[in-house]
Each structure stands twice: as structure tokens, then as C-alpha cells.
């Protein structure tokens, strides 16, 4: 068994994908997903990923998506790819005429966010139904590419009045005094963000959700983004420049690293 896959590997409901299977995301793409990093067959925040999939599935299709099924689908795909470390995505679809959820798992090489400070370009866009993670949303892709063409690393989504919500593919956080501030606005609560919220509660720098606006960015000492790839500092949003707070970044990395990693496949109980 190797450490990481050399190319993309895809399974549908526990078997290698066929050309017919791939028509489902191509032509019946109504669905949801979650993205995770697997290391040595374990995932930080795995219960949060499973809860996200189950909740979204009930919302979109009126059906539960049982965590045990998802765990086995991930483990089977890792077995099929012959790897222990990977970037994994789990997608759920309901093809027309079907009465059960189809689960697609993709396995590719592991990844991690680089530590280089990011530049964000604010854009007037908010995702519909933001609490559900969906693939290929046009607005996110369009504004993300627009930001890149303008010399930024990512788009920062905003509501009317310059209300900050989230990055195109990240959550964004700020430092106010000793408090980490998350925008209190409609957005997807990422798993990394949720793990940091939990972990920071036990430190001298707790986090809080408060309204954040573009015209108020100058009041914050630092900023950062989080995603399934990890955590990275932000050095500018539009024309507002932030210093990289090395102490804050070290704290965030420590809190994240201390979050437990759960094995993808349930380990057998040891005999008494």
C-alpha cells in the first residue's frame, strides 16, 4: 500500500466508477459534498463531516445518509486506490427516478494550504442556501477567477452594504484585541472553522461571531482564512493591509493540530 495516490480515483457506492456512473455528476449534478484530508486513514473532525452529509441529505432529498455507510465508502475507496494519505471528497446525488442516495468518493493526492499570506478581493455575491456545501457553483467560480485575474488569491463574498460572509472556498476570521472574530452572516461553517471554534474556547483567545463589514476592516489587527486544506494568514483585503500575526497563526495551528483525528473505518474493539 502506498502513501498517496498517483492520480484521481473514483468510486460509486463502493465500486470503481464506470462511464455511466460519471454521467450522474455531469448531467444530474443536484447534490452536496464534503472535502477532507486523510492522513494514515484518519480524519480530523470526521464526525462533523458525517453530520454535514446527513443534514444536507435530509434537506435536499428527505433521506438520512448514515455515517457508517459513508465511512465504509471512504475506506473502500482508499483500499481501491491503495493509499493511506489522500485528499478525499464525498458527494451525494439523487439521480432522477432513484429512491436512494448515490454516494461518490474521489481520492487524489493529499494537500495542505501553503503558509504564504493571501490577498482577498471583495465581490458582491452570496451563495444561495449557504449552509449546504455544493460543487461547481457558477458565482464562486466566476468571482474566484476574477480575483485571480486581478492579482488576488481568492474572492471574499459580501452582501449589500459590504457585509462580509465568507471566502469563495474558505471561511475568514479576524483578530480584534484578543478575540478571534468570525463574520456573523449567512455562510457555510467549515469543519476547520468549527474545530477552531471548539479549540479556541479553551484558550485565552476565544472566538465570537460578530457582524463584519468592509468599511470596518481597519479595526482588526489581523485576518486569516480556513478550509479543508488548513489555515493561512491574510495580508490584504482590497486596499486594507493586515500584518501577519505570527503568535495568532501559531495558536491557530496548535489548536487545529490538537483536534483529534478519527479513523475512517471503525477499529475492532479489543477483547476484555
Helix (H), strand (E), coil (C) string for 235-262: EEECCEECCCCHHHHHHHHHHHHHCCEE
CATH of domain 118-258: 3.20.10.10
What mean pLDDT is predicted for residues 70-82? 98
Q: What is the mean pLDDT of residues 241-251?
A: 97
Cβ-proximal residues to 149 (8 Å cutoff; 6+ apart), any chain: none
Report the pLDDT averaged over residues 45-69.
98
Average pLDDT over residues 11-16: 97
Whether 156 has a pLDDT exceeding 60, the answer reads yes
Residue 241 to residue 13: CA distance in whole angstroms: 47
pLDDT at 178: 93
Count of CB atoms situated within 10 Å of the CB of 4: 17
Mean pLDDT of 55-66: 98
CATH topology of domain 9-108: D-amino Acid Aminotransferase; Chain A, domain 1 (3.30.470)
What is the C-alpha to C-alpha distance for residues 175 and 159, in angstroms, rounded to an integer? 21
Residue in the structure block whose three cell numbers are 483525528: 261
Average of per-residue pLDDT across 65-83: 98
Location of each CATH 3.30.470.10 domain in the chain: 9-108
> 20: which residues sit within 8 A by CB, 6+ positions away?
none
Average pLDDT over the chain, rounded to an integer? 94
Where in the chain are all domains bearing CATH 3.20.10.10? 118-258
Check residue 77 and give its pLDDT.
98
The mean pLDDT of 38-52, rounded to a whole number, is: 98
Residue 96 is predicted with a pLDDT of: 87
Cα–Cα distances (Å) from 228 to 43, 170, 178, in that order, read 11, 8, 25
Dihedral over alpha carbons 261, 264, 268, 272 (to 10 degrees):
20
Amino acid at each position: 500500500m502506498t502513501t498517496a495516490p498517483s492520480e484521481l480515483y473514483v468510486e460509486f457506492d463502493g465500486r470503481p466508477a464506470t462511464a455511466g456512473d460519471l454521467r450522474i455528476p455531469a448531467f444530474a449534478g443536484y447534490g452536496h459534498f464534503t472535502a477532507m484530508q486523510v492522513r494514515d486513514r484518519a480524519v480530523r473532525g470526521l464526525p462533523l463531516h458525517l453530520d454535514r452529509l446527513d443534514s444536507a441529505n435530509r434537506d435536499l432529498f428527505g433521506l438520512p445518509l448514515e455515517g457508517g455507510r459513508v465511512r465504509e465508502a471512504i475506506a473502500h475507496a482508499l483500499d481501491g486506490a491503495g493509499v493511506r494519505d489522500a485528499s478525499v471528497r464525498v458527494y451525494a446525488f439523487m439521480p432522477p427516478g432513484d429512491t436512494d442516495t448515490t454516494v461518490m468518493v474521489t481520492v487524489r493526492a493529499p494537500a495542505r494550504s501553503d503558509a504564504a499570506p493571501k490577498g482577498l478581493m471583495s465581490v458582491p455575491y452570496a451563495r444561495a442556501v449557504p449552509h449546504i456545501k455544493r460543487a461547481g457553483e457558477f458565482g464562486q467560480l466566476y468571482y474566484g477567477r476574477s480575483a485571480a485575474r486581478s492579482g488576488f488569491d481568492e474572492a471574499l463574498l459580501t452582501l449589500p452594504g459590504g457585509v462580509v460572509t465568507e471566502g469563495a472556498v474558505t471561511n475568514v476570521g479576524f483578530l480584534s484585541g484578543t478575540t478571534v472574530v468570525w463574520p456573523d452572516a449567512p455562510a457555510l461553517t467549515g469543519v476547520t472553522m468549527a474545530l477552531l471554534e471548539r479549540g479556541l474556547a479553551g484558550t485565552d483567545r476565544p472566538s465570537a461571531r460578530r457582524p463584519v463589514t468592509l468599511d470596518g476592516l481597519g479595526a482588526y489587527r489581523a485576518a486569516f482564512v480556513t478550509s479543508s486544506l488548513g489555515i493561512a494568514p491574510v495580508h490584504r483585503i482590497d486596499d486594507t493591509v493586515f500584518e501577519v500575526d505570527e503568535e495568532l497563526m501559531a495558536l491557530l495551528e496548535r489548536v487545529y493540530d490538537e483536534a483529534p483525528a478519527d479513523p475512517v473505518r471503525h477499529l475492532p474493539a479489543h477483547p476484555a
